[in-house]
Amino acid sequence: MPDGSVPMPDGSVSMLHGGVPVLEDARGASAACASAGWRGVHGVSALPEPGTALALVLDDVTCTFPARGSAREVYTAVRGVSLTVYDGEFVSVVGPTGCGKSTLLNVAAGLLAPTTGEVQVFGERLTGLNRGAGYLFQSDALFPWRTALDNVVAGLEFRGVARSQARSRAMEWLRRVGLAAHAAKYPHELSGGMRKRVALAQTWILGPRMLLMDEPFSALDVQTRQLMENELLDLWSQDRRCVLFVTHDLEEAIALSDRVVVLSAGPASHPIESFRVDLPRPRDVQEIALHPHYVELHAAIWQALKQEVLKAHERIDA
Ligand SMILES: Nc1ncnc2c1ncn2[C@@H]1O[C@H](COP(=O)(O)OP(=O)(O)OP(=O)(O)O)[C@@H](O)[C@H]1O
Ligand SMILES: [Mg+2]
């Protein structure tokens, strides 16, 4: 167990950073809130006020899959994962490739039922799809036969919103993401960054209570990615939905988040450390990377992540 870690009654691990317990267990969260007063390591963090609702709880989640080539054996992708996200909180999960990040996001989205453990969404046990969530994938998930406008309209249409009203709301969203002039274009006529903007508008227009994002910008070039990250922060800061963001990119995780959770290498991946990102907001992802505390945080998180990345590579090579 890493230095500074505290074993929780349920077997999960809570870390002490600068004396501030960062608990990944819903049952311990209120105690942490009271004892820590939600103060970050270097001053008051942007984290939830005492009493803020728990938006998402993964409680002791384990996911197994049938092992390839064996009818009886299973592969345990994640084991005993307890993870909480508060309303309004932006949490990133980082970990080496193949450790189970997308698996956890699929569990939170209700696309995959955990083998054991449970998920709660705003206090209710999740039994099917997480309908209050917006999901943004790594790959483009736009309808290729629909224009940008019609892609943004789609979700409202499915919900039965009148076509004229849906179109005017979708147009407003395209304006917000800077694509008003491209409303009539089809996805193949848009750049990768533009397609991501359409996807953001398509997700946000439905007013999801939480956002689940799986490496949404990883296919973009560095400059476009940074633009998109800033746009995401702008959108998010307007109404602060809770976000669970999966990435293997530590810089992105720190620049965007209130908290970064590090997963161990698989199999049986689980959170090993949780870091509060008490950097000032609003943030510009390029500028925040020059902040002295960003550099400290990066070094501390990389210290934890690096071991797991090395383990993952050894296992892939073996
Ligand atoms: N449906 C499935 N059937 C069998 N194995 C699966 C299935 N889904 C995921 N896995 C395995 O579970 C592990 C975790 O996969 P997952 O896609 O969650 O990893 P990840 O952390 O998102 O990886 P990456 O960073 O490459 O996106 C992997 O070893 C993967 O092969
Ligand atoms: Mg993945």
At residue 257, the pLDDT reads 97
Nearest-angstrom CA–CA distance, 81 and 59: 7
Say yes or no: CB of residue 137 within 6 Å of ligand 1: no
What backbone phi and psi angles, to 5 degrees, belong to 177? -95, 15
- For residue 99, how far is its CA from the centre of ligand 2 (angstroms)? 8
- For residue 261, how far is its CA from the centre of ligand 1 (angstroms)? 18
**Nearest protein Cα to ligand 1, atom 14:** 100
- For residue 176, how far is its CA from the centre of ligand 1 (angstroms)? 35
Q: Are 128 and 115 a contacting pair, CB within 8 Å?
A: no
For 29-87, how does the pLDDT look when each residue is reduced to its tens digit (9 = 90+)?
Answer: 433 333 332 323 322 334 555 568 899 999 999 999 998 877 789 999 999 999 999 99
For 225-237, how does the pLDDT look when each residue is reduced to its tens digit (9 = 90+)?
Answer: 899 899 899 989 9
Q: Are 49 and 286 a contacting pair, CB within 8 Å?
A: no
**DSSP-assigned beta bridge partners for residue 65:** 75
At residue 224, the pLDDT reads 86
Say yes or no: CB of residue 203 within 6 Å of ligand 1: no
Longest dimension (CA), the chain: 59
At residue 318, the pLDDT reads 67
**The 3-state secondary structure of 132-184, one letter per residue:** CEEEECCCCCCCCCCCHHHHHHHHHHHCCCCHHHHHHHHHHHHHHCCCHHHCC
pTM of the predicted protein model: 0.84
For 173-230, how does the pLDDT look when each residue is reduced to its tens digit (9 = 90+)?
Answer: 999 889 999 999 999 999 998 999 999 999 999 999 999 999 999 888 898 889 989 9
Say yes or no: CB of residue 98 within 6 Å of ligand 1: yes
Q: Quick one: residue 249, left, alpha or beta (phi over 0 = left, psi -120 to 50 = alpha)?
A: beta
Place of tokens 């390591």: 41
Say yes or no: CB of residue 75 within 6 Å of ligand 1: yes
For 125-159, how does the pLDDT look when each residue is reduced to its tens digit (9 = 90+)?
Answer: 999 999 999 999 888 789 999 999 999 999 999 89
Nearest-angstrom CA–CA distance, 258 and 154: 32
Ligand nearest to the CA of 308: 1
Which ligand 1 atom is at minimum distance from the Cα of 95?
21
Q: pLDDT over 90 for what percent of the chain?
A: 69
Q: With 90 as the cut, is the pLDDT of residue 12 above it?
A: no
- For residue 102, how far is its CA from the centre of ligand 2 (angstroms)? 4
Say yes or no: CB of residue 197 within 6 Å of ligand 1: no
Q: Are 70 and 299 a contacting pair, CB within 8 Å?
A: no
- For residue 193, how far is its CA from the centre of ligand 2 (angstroms)? 20
**Nearest protein Cα to ligand 1, atom 12:** 77
**Nearest protein Cα to ligand 1, atom 16:** 100
- For residue 96, how far is its CA from the centre of ligand 2 (angstroms)? 10
At residue 46, the pLDDT reads 41
| Helix, strand, or coil (residue 281) | coil
At residue 69, the pLDDT reads 78
Say yes or no: CB of residue 201 within 6 Å of ligand 1: no
**Nearest protein Cα to ligand 1, atom 17:** 102
Closest CA relative to residue 192, chosen from 228, 149, 229 = 228
In the predicted model, what is the mean pLDDT of residues 103-122?
A: 97
Task: Kindly report the average pLDDT of the chain as a whole number.
Answer: 84
